[in-house]
Amino acid sequence: MPSVGRRTFYAIDKLIDNIETVAGSLTSAFHDQTIKIGVTGLAGAGKTVFITSLVHNLLTKQRLPLFSPLVGGQIEAIMLSPQNDQTIPRFALERHLDDLTAKNPGWPESTSQLSQIRVTIKYRPNQLVTRTLNSTRLLHLDFVDYPGEWLLDLPLMDMTFEDWCQQNQQLLTSEPRQSYATDWIKTCRQVNASGRFDERTVERLAAQYRDFLLRCKNSEHRLSNLQPGRFILPGDMAGSPALTFSPLLDFQKQKGDDVWSYRRIMSDRFESYKKKVVKPFFKEHFASLDRQFVLVDLLGAIEAGRSSVQELEETLDLVMQAYRPGKLSWLSSLLLGKRISHLYFAASKADLLPRDQQKKLTSLLSSFARSKGDRSLYLGAQVAYSALAAVRATEAAEIQQNGETYEAVIGQIKGEEGKSVLFPGDLPTDLRDLRNFEAGDFTLPKLTPPKLTAVDQNGIPHIGLDRALEFLLKDAFL
Ligand SMILES: Nc1nc2c(ncn2[C@@H]2O[C@H](COP(=O)(O)OP(=O)(O)OP(=O)(O)O)[C@@H](O)[C@H]2O)c(=O)[nH]1
Ligand SMILES: [Mg+2]
């Protein structure tokens, strides 16, 4: 008997086979529409699980009751189709689905590259005039999974190497960063910045600086405001000279620097990182996006405690600057007036919370995301905030304690047999309380995905994917 995973594969293969037939029945390609949808968030925010479940639920159509074009009968068919851009890695939907639907289900592996997948929807336009002119149309949805870390390079673009060194000097004199940077600081102190550079020392400085960033990221504090973004997630640039530099301590620009000095070498590589890595990403990928999902692991930050929450707030503010580029002249000039029209911020993994707390999570995310940003600067983009779970790994439960009833969840903790009743803790309702929340007030067990049966027909259980689709796409079926 074929495994569930194989059956999933088979179903998708069939869908692919059908594409030509459906495409062949199209009266005019002139009316095709393509919408490029970015899905971003920091590592572990849930991008891969989100795209996997969203695409699979679109293909199976069974679990999206709030997506009006589908329930209203406008949509005739949904299928995978070959992407237009042959140079971008294809999102590995089938592999991720096989992980989720294996006999012992597991979460997909962490990804470090930008990738893309195209879903094509055949629909009947809802406007009378277009309906009579042309009975069906195709809407191509290109979902692009890209690391939020790459957006964090934004502030570097307006910095000189000197500014960056000064910023590091300030950051590295305080904890928790300082103790993660001891090796790099030690090597840096041994280097004569105006002396002739040695490539091995430059490599050591770059490696130690990268190690410092990774220690910040993976520490109990889960720091997230870390640059350069490619040091953390290099994508296909791992090991390249463009990523071999670091800031210098006590940096002061001097006239007539030796061109082979550490100061000049580091400064030149910093500038080329901006020009050859950061700018092309914004030009070639970011500038082509029409709509955007931003996933935020707010629960993970809350669990890690106050400094992580504070750091996430700053990071989110940085990410949001990319969507209000008015202040960033270099970015505005790349976008050539093009704007993201819909922006959906979602706190992920909401299934770890009882239902009565999911609303609190949404309102925390919205005040969190708005605390620094001026919404008027989104310039016409529609913005929404929500809490969602791309894969629902829990069921609702109740706990009785001291005569009181509390909502809880039931799920299977990774590595344990059988299911447990879980109560992660009470979320604060207010942003000020959230900022003072201590690690330990809130714990989130790592759960295994649910055991999915007949996933090929029934889709994947989730919370809020249909609401997200409705917001992002309901106006696209004209
Ligand atoms: N309970 C639950 N856990 C989730 C959900 N989505 C993601 N997770 C957990 O979060 C982890 C990270 O999810 P990914 O989708 O791999 O995150 P990502 O943003 O793609 O991460 P990178 O590829 O490392 O950048 C998973 O391994 C799961 O443990 C969800 O909807 N519910
Ligand atoms: Mg991923």
For residue range 405-427, what is the model confidence (pLDDT) as tens digits? 889 999 999 999 889 999 888 89
Hey, whose CA ends up nearest to atom 27 of ligand 1? 107
Q: Which of 39, 40, 47, 49 is the best mutation target for the ligand 1 pocket, counting ligand atoms within 8 Å of the beta carbon and taking the most? A: 49
Q: State the distance from the centre of ligand 2 to the C-alpha of 103, rounded, in angstroms.
A: 22
Q: Find out whether the peptide bond into 2 is cis, omega within 30 degrees of 0.
A: no
Give the pLDDT of residue 351.
Answer: 97
CB-defined site of ligand 1, < 6 Å = 41, 43-49, 107-108, 110-111, 147, 348-349, 351-352, 389-391, 393, 446-447
Q: Which residues contact 54 (CB under 8 A, 6 or more apart)?
A: 143, 390, 465, 468, 469
Domains of the chain: 4-146+285-394+447-476 (3.40.50), 156-281 (no CATH)
Residue among 118, 17, 122 at smallest CA distance from 69: 122
- The pLDDT tens digits along the chain (478 residues) read 333 333 343 344 444 444 444 444 444 455 689 999 999 999 999 999 999 999 999 999 999 999 999 999 999 999 999 998 889 999 999 999 999 988 889 999 999 889 999 999 999 987 655 555 558 899 999 999 999 999 999 889 989 999 999 999 988 888 889 999 999 999 999 999 888 999 999 999 999 999 999 999 999 888 988 999 999 988 888 778 889 999 999 877 777 677 889 999 999 999 999 999 999 999 999 999 999 999 999 999 999 888 888 889 888 888 888 887 666 778 888 887 778 899 999 999 999 999 989 999 999 998 887 766 555 456 678 899 999 999 999 999 998 888 888 899 999 999 998 899 998 888 988 888 888 877 677 888 899 999 887 566 789 999 999 999 999 999 999 8
Residue among 318, 352, 313, 349 at smallest CA distance from 223: 313
Q: Are 87 and 144 contacting, i.e. CB atoms less than 8 angstroms apart?
A: no
Give SS3 for 281. helix
| Ligand 1 atom closest to the CA of 145, numbered from 1 | 20
| Mean of the per-residue pLDDT values of the chain | 86
| Ligand 1 atom closest to the CA of 233, numbered from 1 | 25
Give the pLDDT of residue 132.
Answer: 56
Nearest ligand to the CA of 149 is 1
What share of the chain in percent tops pLDDT 90? Answer: 59
Q: Which of 349, 446, 448 is the best mutation target for the ligand 1 pocket, counting ligand atoms within 8 Å of the beta carbon and taking the most? A: 349
**pTM value?**
0.89
Between the alpha carbon of residue 376 and those of residues 38, 379, 381, 383, the distances in Å are 22, 6, 9, 11
Amino acid at 246: S
Render pLDDT for 76-97 as a digit per residue (tens, 0 to 9).
999 999 998 889 999 999 999 9
Give the pLDDT of residue 207.
Answer: 95
Nearest ligand to the CA of 52 is 1
Q: If you ran DSSP here, which 8-state letter would residue 236 be given?
A: G
Q: If you ran DSSP here, which 8-state letter would residue 380 be given?
A: T
Q: Is 100 left (phi over 0), alpha (psi -120 to 50) or beta?
A: alpha
Q: State the distance from the centre of ligand 1 to the C-alpha of 388, rounded, in angstroms.
A: 12
Q: Are 152 and 320 contacting, i.e. CB atoms less than 8 angstroms apart?
A: no
Q: State the distance from the centre of ligand 1 to the C-alpha of 439, rounded, in angstroms.
A: 21
Residue among 143, 139, 16 at smallest CA distance from 75: 139
Q: If you ran DSSP here, which 8-state letter would residue 102 be given?
A: S
| Ligand 1 atom closest to the CA of 41, numbered from 1 | 19
* Residues around the ion ligand 2 (C-beta < 5 A): 47-48, 111
Give the pLDDT of residue 6.
Answer: 36
